[in-house]
Structure 1
């Protein structure tokens, strides 16, 4: 069941993290969420209404009058929904059996020490699009079962201290974080998805040891101020997104630690060169994005990547494609055929590319070609 939960998280993680989420989508995945709970508690307190018997449905018109529901919010079994309410602080009297709190699109400026006191069963906390600038170091002390924490679209300048230890998905997209301090994520050994994109984060702002002990599978630092691939990222990653930065080159040391990497996104940077041997360090990669950069040739080493299926190179300055740039000389060396190679919006004369160049591509539509030159 943990594998199912991870696939669900990664599917959500592939969507744009700064868009407001629909909490009802998470409610519909209640069974998946509860699969991660201890077996001794699983199924003993399953709510009625949306996830139980139809005859126990809640009348929404009475939610605001429920003395067990925070003022101005709507309450469902184990769910408190307070989005778009103009709140300036965390509401009081949140029921202790709450597992999901939706506080999106409010004007909350800070989180105090006791705002979530006693919420030991809380699973998901959504604070997207508020005005958060400070979080008390002990604000999460009771949230030992918290798995999803969304803090995107706020005014935070640093990663909060003492994050819940069992967190699975953590999002800080579009804040004002310019520094990730040493051991910022210490103890988060269950963390699978970490989103830090759209922050003014430069290479110098990532302190050595910032990701020590983290087994993150997905890491996003797109739309930041990176000028090179950071050297101290989690070695466990299967997906790394660094699009829309100012990275100018890929060096042989950049990916040596990431043997499990399967998806690499470096589109919309300023990359002029990929050092020979750089991509050989990620032998299990399935998908590489290098579109909209300044490459003048196909990156070396693609033909040695046995499982590579998607290669985006459109919008570069590539003017030549060699017959062995994508495919190995022996067919048996390629374990997975390409499903997509994009080379459009490059100055290469596509009619000069030998057809055998794409001998390891599945189907006639697997290659997208175009030219900036016209026949005269």
Structure 2
């Protein structure tokens, strides 16, 4: 008997995997990564017959409300686990214990109100963790500490009201953090210490009234920051001069003034969005030394068009291509509703 070529053996093994695929699922092998997709199947429990060497397991959009701690004990090669859009209310502490190769975990859009302290302890290779759209109101300082390789953490759309200074202490690889759409009233000064790789930080749609001056200090890789849809009345000192910051979104707050400290320092800002605040003027030099600026939005502020706004009016007139909206004068009555860039120079002749 002639020996079976190696390529034929590989094909036979692949076919065996596909034949073993549970009825409610679709099994594929793109780029030699065994993937089992059981999404949108109305599943109440894990399907029987999942291949032991599955590497990507997609169980999203089902009706799973509980998983026994032995659910994944045979799937030690699993790299990505999709459990989003189910009805999970709690998770056993040892559920992920066998998954030491896991790099991506999707748990968003469930009903999780609590996570056991050691739930992520075995996941030393985890890089992406999505926990948004759950019911988390708090978590322990130890929850994320076993995840030194974590790069993306999404906690948006939960019920967080406060955070400990040590919440993210050991996440030195973290590049993307979202805490948006929670109920945060304040942030402790040391919350982001040690996050040396952080480049994207989303804090929009909370109830923040104050940001500590030191909150973003040392985050030299931070390039994208949104604090929009809060109740901030002033910015932390030096935020417009934050080293490396390129995109800053501050719309829909209650900002009345912008601090002028450090105006001589150069910036790398490309986008500044100040729409929908309570600004009446901006101090001279606000956008000085910002050669990379490409987009600025200022509409929806009650601009007081008197002598104090002359710097801003002149700067806007010289840089019309950067203005992506039409900031209007609120007062005095003589220029009410008039675009700042349309005010003639003669108007300031008495200044």
Shorter chain as denominator, the TM-score bin is 0.7 to 0.9
1:57 offset after TM fit, Å?
10
**1:132 aligned counterpart, secondary structure:** coil
Q: Tell me the residue number matched to 1:369.
A: 326
1:115 offset after TM fit, Å?
1.1
Query: 2:140 aligned with 1:177, yes or no?
Result: no
**1:368 aligned counterpart, secondary structure:** coil
Conserved 8 A contact 1:295-1:317: yes
1:110 offset after TM fit, Å?
1.7
Query: 2:219 aligned with 1:239, yes or no?
Result: no
1:117 offset after TM fit, Å?
1.7
1:358 offset after TM fit, Å?
4.9
Q: Select 2:74's aligned residue among 96, 110, 118.
A: 118
Query: 2:90 aligned with 1:138, yes or no?
Result: no
**1:254 aligned counterpart, secondary structure:** coil
Cα 1:87–1:227 change in 2 (3 A) is same
Conserved 8 A contact 2:72-2:96: yes
1:89 offset after TM fit, Å?
1.9
**1:117 aligned counterpart, secondary structure:** coil
1:305 offset after TM fit, Å?
4.7
Distance of 1:353 and 1:87 partners within structure 2: 65
**1:211 aligned counterpart, secondary structure:** coil
TM-score (norm 2): 0.79
Q: Tell me the residue number matched to 2:186.
A: 228
**1:69 aligned counterpart, secondary structure:** coil
Conserved 8 A contact 1:297-1:320: yes
Q: Tell me the residue number matched to 1:129.
A: 85
Conserved 8 A contact 1:323-1:357: no
- The alignment yields a C-alpha RMSD, in angstroms, of 3.0
Cα 1:115–1:318 change in 2 (3 A) is same
**1:198 aligned counterpart, secondary structure:** coil
Q: Tell me the residue number matched to 1:212.
A: 169
Q: Tell me the residue number matched to 2:124.
A: 165
Distance of 1:360 and 1:89 partners within structure 2: 64
**2:315 aligned counterpart, secondary structure:** helix
1:350 offset after TM fit, Å?
6.9
After superposition, residues 1-80 of structure 1 pair within 5 angstroms as: 68-77=20-29, 78-80=34-36
Cα 1:140–1:185 change in 2 (3 A) is same
Cα 1:72–1:345 change in 2 (3 A) is same
| Structure 2 residues not aligned, in runs of 5+ | 1-6, 331-335, 339-351
Distance of 2:318 and 2:72 partners within structure 1: 55
Q: Which structure has the bigger radius of gyration?
A: 2
Distance of 1:360 and 1:255 partners within structure 2: 32
Conserved 8 A contact 2:296-2:322: no
Cα 1:257–1:103 change in 2 (3 A) is same
Distance of 1:288 and 1:113 partners within structure 2: 43
Q: How many residues align?
A: 309
Q: Show CA shifts across 1:271-319 (max 9, x none).
A: 1112434555x31111111101011233545843521111110111111
Conserved 8 A contact 2:260-2:283: no
TM-score (norm 1): 0.74
Conserved 8 A contact 1:183-1:212: no
Conserved 8 A contact 2:66-2:90: yes
Q: Select 2:280's aligned residue among 309, 314, 319.
A: 319
Cα 1:301–1:147 change in 2 (3 A) is farther
Conserved 8 A contact 2:243-2:267: yes
